């Protein structure tokens, strides 16, 4: 019996021309990577990824969120704090889905990570801003927090009907991913996040490499959907006006092995989490702060 995961791919940009012609939209790329990861993650279940692309820059959205399991927000050359209509609408949409459709999970990559954090956590002092350290580029190593690793391991047990004991894999302590970003998410303090939220990991450059709320939200600052080809072609466009030596060093930093497959498998594991007896069932706003969903 197949287990189907229905995803709305909210494309916040399109790839550069050479990538678009070979790989399609970011939604297409995510679909292929998640489908392959689902096959690797579980040999004992038929996990099917169904997805539909939407261009949120054109204000395209699903007609019915109730028919979805996941909304996935891609990267973008834009910034989450840009005061433009499509970003304001996406920000509002994310909050609405979180508040009113508790069965729908959220995943965000780079811009998507930043937009989700901005939308859901601004009341807790979390902001998206230009990184004072500048760009983070090429393949970098993320050290996963012990809190995140333990929480993901615990919630993965809820998917035991989908995984045999031989399918289970030890969670990695580190992930190497491709990067191209100059904005970052700033969390004011370790205890600023709602109690059920946590930071996913950090690099030497960037302290918040993602956030996680079990059964509901996962984000990555890095790009598991990028590989050498995608990031190289992207940076040839983004860095066209850079000093030639800086661009050369940056392209060399992209031409490295990464852990994109492992990162995709963690996303699939998150997408298969269940929220029954320990599930998250409701949220509310108190005094302008988004409270963590209540446990049953």
Give the pLDDT score at 279: 38
- Whether residue 120 contacts residue 112, with contact meaning beta carbons closer than 8 Å, is answered with no
User: What's the predicted TM-score (pTM) here?
Assistant: 0.90
Q: Following DSSP, what letter does each residue of 12-56 receive, concatenated?
A: SS---HHHHHHH--HHHHHHHHHHHHHHHH-SSSEEEEEEEEEEG
Give the pLDDT score at 257: 94
Taking Cα atoms as reference points, which of 182, 219, 263, 262 lies closest to residue 74? 219
Give the pLDDT score at 15: 97
Q: What percent of the chain has pLDDT over 70?
A: 86
- Nearest-Å Rg of the Cα atoms of the chain is 18
Q: What percent of the chain has pLDDT over 90?
A: 77
CB atoms within 10 A of CB 289: 13
| CA–CA distance, 185 with 199 (Å, rounded to integer) | 11
Q: Note the CATH architecture for domain 3-272.
A: 3-Layer(aba) Sandwich (3.40)
Q: In which residue are the tokens 């946590």 written?
A: 198
Residue 261 DSSP one-character state: H
Taking Cα atoms as reference points, which of 211, 225, 195, 185 lies closest to residue 80? 185
pLDDT tens-digit map of 161-212: 444 444 456 688 999 999 999 999 999 998 899 999 999 999 999 999 999 9
């Amino acid at each position: 019996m197949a287990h189907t995961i229905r995803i709305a791919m909210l494309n916040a940009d399109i790839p550069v021309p050479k990538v678009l012609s070979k790989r399609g939209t970011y939604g297409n790329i995510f679909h292929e990577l998640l489908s392959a990861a689902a096959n690797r993650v579980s040999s004992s279940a038929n996990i099917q990824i169904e997805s539909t692309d939407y261009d949120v820059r054109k204000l395209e959205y699903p007609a019915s969120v109730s028919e979805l399991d996941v909304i996935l927000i891609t990267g973008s050359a834009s910034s989450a704090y840009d005061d433009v209509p499509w970003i304001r609408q996406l920000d509002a949409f994310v909050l609405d889905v979180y508040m009113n459709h508790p069965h729908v999970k959220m995943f965000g990559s780079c811009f998507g990570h930043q937009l989700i954090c901005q939308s859901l956590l601004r009341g807790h002092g979390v902001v998206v801003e230009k990184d004072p350290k500048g760009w983070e580029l090429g393949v970098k190593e993320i050290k996963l927090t012990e809190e995140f690793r333990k929480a993901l391991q615990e919630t993965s047990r809820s998917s035991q009907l989908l995984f045999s004991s031989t399918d289970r894999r030890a969670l990695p302590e580190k992930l190497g991913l491709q990067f191209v970003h100059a904005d970052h998410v700033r969390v004011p303090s370790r205890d600023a996040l709602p109690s059920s939220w946590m930071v996913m990991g950090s690099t030497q450059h960037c302290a918040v490499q993602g956030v996680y709320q079990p059964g509901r939200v996962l984000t990555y600052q890095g790009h598991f959907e990028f590989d050498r080809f995608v990031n190289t072609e992207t940076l040839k466009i983004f860095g066209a006006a850079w000093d030639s030596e800086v661009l050369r060093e940056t392209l060399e930093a992209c031409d490295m092995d990464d852990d994109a497959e492992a990162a995709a498998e963690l996303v699939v594991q998150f997408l298969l989490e269940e929220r029954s007896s320990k599930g998250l069932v409701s949220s509310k706003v108190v005094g302008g702060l988004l409270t963590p969903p209540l446990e049953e």
